[in-house]
Amino acid sequence: MKLTEKDRDFIEKLKLHVEAKDLSIELINDGLLRLVLRQNYGDQIESEFKMTRQGVRWRFQRLFNEIYVSAYESIYYVESQFGTQLRGDAIKIAKQRVELRKKAQKSGFMPVCRREDR
């Protein structure tokens, strides 16, 4: 699953609040390991993220416990079959794609159909 622009904006805002110690991310184990968002995220956070507290919780849950962990499940499966020798190449490819996307955004050119969408 790919991150949307809203997802990226959320993560960037969340990073600022975690760095400022307004929010924190913790691993809990209540029979099932998962990441949770902690601390006071009331009116200030609602206005910053432009969504309700429930919306903040929902997006955090989706991004950190579904998309992020799922990506590592996929990596774990591939590496359990082929080992870790492809990891470096995969990281190089991912970095290149990110850089190409950034260059395309700066130049104002964003392709209508990306290779993986075909």
* Crossing angle of helices 5-19 and 53-60, rounded to 10°: 100
Separation between Cα atoms, residue 35 and residue 18, nearest integer Å: 14
The reply to whether 113 falls in a domain is no
Residue 46 belongs to what domain range? 5-108
Separation between Cα atoms, residue 112 and residue 106, nearest integer Å: 16
Domain count along the chain: 1
Global confidence as pTM: 0.76
pLDDT digits (tens, 9 = 90+) for 21-56: 989 999 999 999 999 999 876 678 888 899 888 899
Tokens of 12: 């960037």
In contact, 25 and 38? CB cutoff 8 Å: yes
The reply to whether 65 falls in a domain is yes
The reply to whether 118 falls in a domain is no
In contact, 18 and 24? CB cutoff 8 Å: yes
pLDDT digits (tens, 9 = 90+) for 61-99: 999 999 999 999 999 999 999 999 999 999 999 999 989
Name residue 72's amino acid: Y
The reply to whether 115 falls in a domain is no
